[in-house]
Structure 1
Amino acid sequence: MATNLAEKIVIEERQQQLEKIGYREKIGYASGDLACNLIYQTVTTYLLFFYTDVFGISAAAAGVMFLIVRVIDAVLDPIIGLAVDRTNTRWGRFRPYLLFGAIPFAIFAIFCFTTPDFSDIGKLVYAYITYILLSITYTTINVPYGALTSAITQDNKEVVSLTSIRMLFANIGGLVVAFGVPLIAALLSDTAGAGKERGWQLTMAIMGVAGAALLLFSFFNTKERVKFTHTETEKIMFSDVFEQFKVNRPLVVLCTFFIIIFGVNSIINSVGIYYVSYNVGRPDMVKWYGLLGSLPAIILMPLIPMLNKWLGKKMLLRLSLILAIIGTLALVVIPASMVGLILVARAVSAVGCLVAGGFMWALIPETIDYGEYKTGKRLSGLIYAMIGFFFKFGMALGGIVPGIVMQSFGYVANQTQTPEALTGILITTAVIPTIILVLALVDLNFYKLDEKEHSRIVAELRARVE
């Protein structure tokens, strides 16, 4: 009797996963990524610049710090994912982390952009502590937030729709960060009466409060349609991480893709402020350069479901990567004086990166289904933790690569740069991202989970409990 009841519950939950999702819930869910981008994209885009040109930490020391924090993430992310998969509360498995993580996330972000009057060593220690705390908090929110998609619906069309709206909101957040943050920081630096340090802190406070409010909005406007029993959560172990890497090839390919795409985006975004300020010699254009990195998403993200239906996921991703390569590589040959062409190249590169970066989130639920098909365990939280580590490592490249490369070419903050330093900035802006994008094309060829195979897997998963 108990077994039959459990099977009936699972069948009903599978049916609920295939229900149509209302736009209120889609907007509620998407608001969570808007929140994360307002806070964490501000960090990944401007923290290196803040450390070197405001707080007074060397580019090399900051770059090494970004790398060390990612090593810490490598240890903590699977542990957090395991904890998420073992969570079972009256609010669900994933949503409680949005509720209880929102305010700490905002507080630690503000601490990262605070400049206490410490010695050089003291500043570095402070930077390590605050950035590590922020990174842990981000993981504790972002892993369950991402996994929430698979708890909302299993319908592939609804997943693509949900993800498209999520990516639209994420890129609206990116738009605010790219254009608004430097603008607000400059205005507040002038009006706050305490220079750049106070201006950046107040700017991060605005982003943090808005982000926390949006996370709470997301919590109250989403629904988990799949409930997991205590018995199911007991079966989930840390060793499942290694099992997934062993049997879930689509997940391995996707993890690699996440490093590549978000690595490229992060490098381009974080070095953009240096490239425009020093190579182009137009610091007043920083906000416009950043704006073009996010603005195309307003048009593109709602079109992704149609493009996916028309082209198929692999062709859509290939064309996007080729476009990104063309736009990025163009910066190598365009003279720094031709600002108009530089902005066009930036827009072309952004179109490719945004489509590829936005669409691949829709592939994660497929890898969760595939992992369940191979192992019998639905490891949503653990898989999103694995994805989250590679995603964050990719974003950390925006601090690691520019910091190390620019330091090796002789970059010194707040002064006219040498020709060698300008060359280092250009290499980081265009050459390195182009090479990484080519690797993404190679990696994509190994993703064999097409629409037909995924539909067959979902049908078999449903049949197992019927």
Structure 2
Amino acid sequence: MAQTNEQHGFYHLNWLQRIGFGAGDLAQNLIYQTIAMYLLLFYTNVFGIDPKAAAFMFLIVRLVDVLWDPVVGTFVDKHEPRWGKYRSYLILGGIPLSGFAILCFWNGFSGSLLYAYLTYVGMSMCYTLVNVPYGALNSSLTRDTNEITVLTSVRMFMANCGGLAVSLGIPILVAALSPDGKMNTKEDANAWFITMAIYAVVGLALLLFCFSQTEERVVMDKSQTANVKVSDLWEEFVRNKPLRILAFFFITAFAMMAVGNSAGSYYMIYNVHGSTNDMAIFMGLGSVPAFIFMPLVPAIKRKIGKQQMFYVFLSVAIVGMAILYIVSIVPALRSQLWLVYAAQFIKSTGVIVATGYMWALVPEVISYAEYTTNRRISGIVNALTGIFYKAGMALGGVVPGLVLSFVHFDKDNAVEQSPLAQQGILWLVCVIPALLLILAMFIISKYELTDEVIDNINKEIEQRNKKK
């Protein structure tokens, strides 16, 4: 029976294949998490851009993504490069992605908005060229829901390895390479450039490893995707209710992460007055829970179900944010760094599990689309989810810059900020993310594709394929 299932899409992957696939997300996180966590700090304090101008630029880049993502998704679904329908782009997009990421942190045109726009837009477009096909690659490996859960857990575990390498490693490495031992002054420019170059090259090597270990076995043939067009994206969004729910969940989840991640470095520098090592520990705790809880996700999901799992861990994240806020407004508590770290760990535990597992829902909505239309347009579905998570990133990228401008953040002061500016930073770290998580809980409550429903859908699809 196992052999029969393997012949009809329910493939089981070995551990090298699972790790190979996860290496793709590790690679992307080495690059994109550096952008998400530290580019705003680099732009304001090192490169010399006004926070309001940086916020507007983040918005423009995401608007470009909204136009670019459907083009990439449609192109990917319609074409089959010689190295694989989806895996080819790990190389074709990975090489320029690494190059643009390095250029984003080059200070050769210090203060130039034009240079910042060109490099950031270029990086973001290349990231889409890797990320959309990579997301579609997941659903091309197998239909088996248990295998997808394991695959997603491995992927998220390795993605958080990348997040940890960025959050913990970047402050330490930049400070070590900087002449003043800091990471938020103009003297630190070369240290940022060298650090990003190291991370980008390692990321490219990991993309090549992912390419070597993945095999696409659940894909539509050319005749079934020949007529795919950009308008299919919007038609699918209107028609596919589970996709709409997942899309709006992506918006809120990624907005929450983008706001909190970009503000974390400001919080440790100006609210806690911590050292670069303190910041490395705080930011690193944003990823550490993944190594404890992501391996447990398959068992937790089997025990309580995926929807209850979302409720539990989103609630844990909100509790962690509330604790961090209380600790931060009481001077006697704020000086106790272990309390700050504990609150960050609790918050991160909830965020990591909830936002990590949401990627396992993408193959489900792809199967639902195939079940209702008889076309497995993975590229288009991943382009849609890409649009919405980048919409969340846009919101998360714009809000910090606007809040910092509103509270009169002084980008030239590397040590102190006004009480109002410190309060604004605290809004970004705790209050706004918590409100977004409450909204996310309401959204995910509307998701109706249970494991049983998805298993029946996949079996019906395979029965159809047998009859052809």
Instruction: Tell me which interval the TM-score lies in, with the shorter structure as reference length.
Output: over 0.9
Q: What corresponds to 1:319 in structure 2?
A: 312
Q: Structure 1 423/346 Cα, relative in aligned 2: closer, same or farther at 3 Å?
A: same
Q: Distance in 1 between matches of 2:180 and 2:256?
A: 35
Within the candidate set 320, 343, 346, 1:345 is matched to: 343
What is the CA-CA distance between 1:90 and the residue it aligns to?
3.3
SS of the aligned residue for 2:308 comes to: helix
Quote the Cα distance in structure 1 between the aligned partners of 2:261 and 2:382.
24
- Return the offset for 1:457: 1.2
**Residue of structure 2 in register with 1:463 after alignment:** 463
Using structure 1 for the length normalisation, give the TM-score.
0.94
Residues 45 and 398 in structure 1, CA contact (< 8 A), matched pair in contact too: no
Partners of 2:260 and 2:433 within 8 A in 1: yes
Separation in structure 1 between the aligned mates of residue 267 and residue 244 of structure 2, nearest angstrom = 34
Per-residue deviation, 1:352: 0.1
Other structure's SS at 1:114 match = coil
Q: Which residue of 1 aligns with 2:454?
A: 454
Tell me if the contact between 1:368 and 1:379 (Cα under 8 Å) persists in the aligned partners: yes
Give how far 1:227 is off.
4.5
1:243-274 C-alpha deviation (Å, 9 max, x unpaired): 21112111111111111112212211110111
- CA 1:16–1:206: 2 relative to 1, 3 Å: farther
- Indicate conservation of the 8 Å contact 1:101/1:140, yes or no: yes
Segments of structure 1 that go 5 or more residues without pairing to the other structure are 1-11
Root-mean-square deviation over aligned CA pairs: 1.7
Compute the displacement of 1:242 (Å).
1.5
Q: 2:155 matched to which residue of 1?
A: 166
Select 2:358's aligned residue among 357, 360, 382: 360
**Match among 274, 291, 302 for residue 298 of structure 1:** 291
After TM superposition, the structure 1 stretch with the greater mean CA deviation from structure 2, 195-204 or 455-464, is: 455-464
**What is the identity, as a one-letter code, of the residue corresponding to 2:222?**
H
1:455 shift after superposition: 1.6
* Alpha-carbon contact 1:88-1:228 (below 8 Å) kept: no
| d(CA) in 1 for partners of 2:26, 2:19 | 10
Please name the residue that 2:50 is paired with.
58
Q: How many residues align?
A: 452
**Distance (whole Å) between structure 1 residues aligned to residue 462 and residue 82 of structure 2:** 26
The yes-or-no answer on 1:224 pairing with 2:216 is yes
Cα distance in 2 for partners of 1:43, 1:409 equals 23
Q: Confirm or deny: 8 A CA contact 2:143 2:218 kept in the other structure.
A: no
- Contact in 2 for aligned 1:262/1:394 (Cα 8 Å): yes
In structure 1, the residue matched to 2:89 is: 97
Structure 1 counterpart of 2:218, one-letter code: V
Report matched runs for 1:147-162 at 5 Å: 147-162=136-151
What's the % identity of the aligned pairs? 43
- Matched with 2:300 is 307
Deviation at 1:191, TM superposition (A): 9.4
Distance 1:428 1:266 in 2: 10
- 1:130 positional shift: 0.4
Q: Aligned equivalents of 2:316 and 2:356: distance in 1?
A: 15
Question: 1:269–1:398: 8 Å Cα contact kept in structure 2?
Answer: no
Which structure 2 segments of 5+ residues have no match? Answer: none
Q: Is the 8 A contact 2:225 2:375 kept in 1?
A: no
**1:47 to partner: Cα distance:** 0.2
- After superposition, residues 130-149 of structure 1 pair within 5 angstroms as 130-149=119-138
Spell out the pairing of 1:45-84 with structure 2 (5 A cutoff).
Answer: 45-84=37-76
Structure 2 counterpart of 1:242: 234
Alignment of 1:306-455 (within 5 A): 306-334=299-327, 335=330, 336-415=334-413, 416-455=416-455
Q: C-alpha distance in 1, partners of 2:233/2:5?
A: 25
1:378 corresponds to which letter in structure 2?
Answer: R
Native 8 Å contact 1:247 1:374 kept in 2: no
Are residues 13 and 312 of structure 1, via their aligned partners in 2, closer, same or farther at CA, if it must alter by over 3 Å?
A: closer
Shift of 1:117: 3.6
Alpha-carbon separation, structure 2, partners of 1:237 and 1:429: 41
Q: In the alignment, residue 160 of structure 1 is paired with which amino acid?
A: T
Q: Which amino acid is the alignment partner of residue 178 of structure 2?
A: S
SS of 2:449 mapped into structure 1: coil
Is the CA contact 2:20–2:210 (under 8 Å) kept in the aligned structure 1? Answer: yes
Higher mean displacement: 256-265 or 146-155: 256-265
TM-score by length of 2: 0.94
Distance 1:269-1:63 versus aligned 2 partners, 3 A rule: same
Cα deviation per residue 1:319-342 (whole Å; 9 max; x = unaligned)? 010000000122221123232211
